[in-house]
Amino acid sequence: MNAWVAISEIVRNVALAVAAFVGAYIAWLQLAPANQQARSASTQAELARRTHVIALFNRAAGQLRDSKLEVRLAAIYVLRGIAKDFPDYADPVFELMQAYLRAADIDYGDEQPPVDIRAIQDLLRRRLEVPRV
């Protein structure tokens, strides 16, 4: 009789273990689509963020030649923010700033350059002072 009780307990424990593994497998199967959907949503959010940054970059690049000083300064500050917050866009920002300075190659003599030119110079100077990794 004790042998039957021991065998029934073993069978019961094995059945419970199999049921637990089956339950865990079913739960995993149900979570897999949710995880895939979360990854997809994350990828879409990253693409939307990059699209927004590219739109900001393009708008600011176009505003560098605006006739109003305020618009040019705002464009420079936006580009500076992009370079700071998005390191993968830093090189294009700095190349654009350098090209802008080269295109506006004016000798100011003893006078200070305009505020927007000084802002770009400060930005580029800081870039040279910070060691890149």
Contacts of 84 (CB under 8 A, 6+ apart): 90
**Count of structural domains within the chain:** 1
pLDDT band per the 50, 70, 90 thresholds, residue 133: low
Give the pLDDT of residue 72.
93
**What is the residue range of 49's domain?**
2-129
Mean pLDDT, range 47-65, rounded to an integer: 93
Span 92-128, pLDDT tens digits:
999 999 999 888 777 777 788 888 888 988 988 888 7
Nearest to 64 by CA among 51, 56, 74: 74
Task: Report the alpha-carbon distance of residue 133 to residue 1 in Å, rounded.
Answer: 75
pLDDT band at 71 (very low <50, low <70, confident <90, very high): very high
